[in-house]
Amino acid sequence: MEKVYVPFIENEPITVEVNGHRFLILASEEEDLMDQLEEFGDAEVREFDVHISDVAEGNFDLSHELTQISEHANAGVLVQPPGVSTSLLIESLESELPWLH
């Protein structure tokens, strides 16, 4: 079992929207979310358990709780690579993802 971290503000998960796509960002390292949290005043990071089924492929099973959070936020799940800042991840997605209208 591994841990992932999700940013929240006022009991709601923080989501990002990139080119019309909405994402809930999960990070394997809490520190990787810190640049995103600086943009929000009263944000917190919560820890969740996930089961890694194939580490080499990055496959994992979300807990029921994380699945519900994602569905409630009406967002896809984006796993932030270790050591990559949230701002760099978003910049990369902006250049790679097609627009949804």
Locate the domains of the chain by residue range.
Answer: 2-96
| Total-model pTM | 0.79
Which tokens sit at 78? Answer: 């984006």
The confidence score (pLDDT) of residue 52 equals 62
The confidence score (pLDDT) of residue 22 equals 95
Low-confidence spans in the chain with pLDDT less than 50: 55
Given a contact cutoff of 8 angstroms between Cβ atoms, the answer to whether 2 and 50 are in contact is: yes
The confidence score (pLDDT) of residue 63 equals 76
Q: What Cα–Cα distance (Å) separates residue 66 from each residue in 35, 39, 41, 49, 88?
A: 22, 23, 23, 9, 24
> What is the residue-averaged pLDDT of the chain?
83
The confidence score (pLDDT) of residue 49 equals 84
The confidence score (pLDDT) of residue 3 equals 86
